[in-house]
Chain A
Amino acid sequence: MTCDEVEVLLHALLDGELDAGHAREVEAHIAGCPGCARQLAAYRDMRAAMAGADLHYQAPAQLRRRIEQALPARAVISTPSRRSLLRGFAFGSVLSGALAAGLVMVVLRDDRDQRIVGDVVSAHVRSLQAEHLTDVQSTSQHTVKPWFNGRIDVAPPVVELTTQGFTLIGGRLDVLDGKAVGALVYKRRGHVINLFVLQASGADRFAPKAEMAQGFNLRRWSSGGLEFWAVSDINGEELQEFETKFADAARAGV
């Protein structure tokens, strides 16, 4: 790696944007190059000086009031329709398309998981708000499963868990990370659980992972080349129970 390359990449290193391999390469170069080491130290110092000063401005109270008053208490514009939601997806993919041109981005850290966490929560919230919880409404796996056939690349395994405390409500199509995916909808004592099923990103299985985002519990696991993301407002233990029961039943091929 040359000094000219490091001159640019050290910023990505400072910002925590480099993937592990390139971070090691840049660090190795810096360890043997006093000039680049000084640069890194100097920029780190400048960042610290900026972080130490409050560079934000505060919006005037008047402005806040004006905006709040301009927003209707009861608007006249219609609720998001299916079509307007799709327009939103298009907006997203235009933005992502702009990224494809970047050559240097191949060395940057993959923040796919972060994006999916955000998408999973948005999709969950949308499913509750836009009264578009299900495209196919049925408590029978024999109705829900075939509905997905031909609609998406990855047909999710569908299992009935009613006797185990999770009632199948139906399924729908949704979008995660710019791709159409199947979503299964379950209920637990009136609480909705959305389960998104997508093609696993890597060949590896990974350990189940629990996360919280915007007040919702998320649980993610992999099985049989598929990746599962469950999201709900039920507590973490119950969501884990859901994972176990779903995974067991799906494995048994019930």
Chain B
Amino acid sequence: MTGAMRADEDGGRAGRFRALALPHLDDVYTLARYLLGSAADADDAVQECYLRAYRHFDTYRGPQIKPWLFAILRNVCHSARARAASAPQPAGSMAEDIDEAAVPVWNETPETPESAIVRRHDADTIRNLVAGLPSPFREVIVLREIDDLSYREIADVVGVPVGTVMSRLARARAMLRTAWLAADGKEPQ
């Protein structure tokens, strides 16, 4: 193989990466904002994610590139968090080690009367409600409700069994609903 041919193929590789990965930039950025909170941190994480993704483009085998990018972003966010761990941080905000088995799902909303329909809110209010969830629950809510990933894709991104995705999502929605009703001034009774 001649050097010129190799260069053309490499150019093609970058071109393929651009065509496949760049259309998902907004989605990746959205996940970064929900995982990290601050716009500046999200910027850094997304840039790092795309560079890592390009370096490891050979390991991408489809079918969907979005969950693959999300999995990389998630790793980047973990590294960023580990680096920041020495700095003081709001307690519990990023806690990954919540004992999910300790609190059953049905504790959060024991009975939901029909009257307790959630009020419609603007996007900012809902974003804040989502941002208030503990990290593992916030993550599945964002991947499911905002990114429209299937349970299997979420399982691949998060690295847990599909069953865990389902139970975690059930708890996440229960928590979100409680927070939502509280914001509405209603008790979930």
Chain A positions near chain B (C-beta within 8 angstroms): 3-4, 7-9, 11-12, 15, 17, 35, 38-39, 41-43, 45-47, 49-60, 63-64, 66-68, 70-81, 84-85, 87-89, 91-92, 95, 98-105, 108, 111, 114-115, 117-119, 121-122, 129
- CB-CB < 8 A to B159: which residues of A? 95, 98
Determine if A47 and B145 form an interchain contact, defined as CB atoms under 8 angstroms apart.
Answer: yes
Q: Does B80 contact A (CB under 8 A)?
A: no
Determine if B13 and A79 form an interchain contact, defined as CB atoms under 8 angstroms apart.
Answer: yes
- CB-CB < 8 A to A66: which residues of B? 47
Determine if B155 and A99 form an interchain contact, defined as CB atoms under 8 angstroms apart.
Answer: yes
Determine if B50 and A46 form an interchain contact, defined as CB atoms under 8 angstroms apart.
Answer: no
Cα separation A49 to B126 with both chains bound (whole Å): 9
- CB-CB < 8 A to B114: which residues of A? 38, 41
Smallest Cβ-Cβ distance to A64: which chain B residue: B25
Cα separation A46 to B109 with both chains bound (whole Å): 14
Cα separation A56 to B130 with both chains bound (whole Å): 12
**CB within 8 Å for A91 and B61 given contacts A4-B106, A55-B123, A68-B22:** yes
Mark B129-162 against chain A: 1 for CB-CB distance below 8 A, else 0: 0100000000000001110001110011001111
- CB-CB < 8 A to B7: which residues of A? 74
Determine if A102 and B162 form an interchain contact, defined as CB atoms under 8 angstroms apart.
Answer: yes
Which interface residue of B9, B18, B58, B111 has the most chain A CB atoms within 10 A?
Answer: B58
Determine if B127 and A42 form an interchain contact, defined as CB atoms under 8 angstroms apart.
Answer: no
Mark B52-77 against chain A: 1 for CB-CB distance below 8 A, else 0: 00110111111110000000000000
Main secondary structure on chain A at its contact with chain B?
helix
- CB-CB < 8 A to B97: which residues of A? none
Smallest Cβ-Cβ distance to B116: which chain A residue: A42
Determine if A79 and B9 form an interchain contact, defined as CB atoms under 8 angstroms apart.
Answer: yes
* A141 smallest CB distance to B (angstroms): 30
Determine if B155 and A122 form an interchain contact, defined as CB atoms under 8 angstroms apart.
Answer: no
* A112 smallest CB distance to B (angstroms): 10
- CB-CB < 8 A to A11: which residues of B? 166, 169-170, 173
Given contacts A67-B25, A71-B50, 15 further A-B contacts (CB under 8 A): A3-B106, A15-B169, A51-B145, A55-B30, A58-B26, A58-B29, A60-B43, A64-B22, A71-B17, A77-B13, A89-B61, A98-B155, A100-B161, A105-B162, A121-B62
Smallest Cβ-Cβ distance to B46: which chain A residue: A63
Partner of B151, one of A43, A77, A108: A108
Determine if A59 and B130 form an interchain contact, defined as CB atoms under 8 angstroms apart.
Answer: no
- CB-CB < 8 A to B11: which residues of A? 73-75
**CB within 8 Å for A57 and B26 given contacts A78-B10, A102-B155:** yes
Partner of A99, one of B13, B46, B152: B152
Partner of B63, one of A39, A73, A118: A118
Determine if A118 and B64 form an interchain contact, defined as CB atoms under 8 angstroms apart.
Answer: yes
Cα separation A122 to B120 with both chains bound (whole Å): 41
Determine if A70 and B126 form an interchain contact, defined as CB atoms under 8 angstroms apart.
Answer: no
Determine if A99 and B59 form an interchain contact, defined as CB atoms under 8 angstroms apart.
Answer: no
Determine if A49 and B118 form an interchain contact, defined as CB atoms under 8 angstroms apart.
Answer: yes
Cα separation A105 to B164 with both chains bound (whole Å): 9
Determine if B151 and A15 form an interchain contact, defined as CB atoms under 8 angstroms apart.
Answer: yes
Determine if A88 and B118 form an interchain contact, defined as CB atoms under 8 angstroms apart.
Answer: no
- CB-CB < 8 A to A71: which residues of B? 14, 17-18, 50, 54
Cα separation A49 to B119 with both chains bound (whole Å): 8
Cα separation A12 to B164 with both chains bound (whole Å): 12
* B1 smallest CB distance to A (angstroms): 9
Q: Does B99 contact A (CB under 8 A)?
A: no
**CB within 8 Å for A72 and B162 given contacts A35-B111, A84-B59:** no
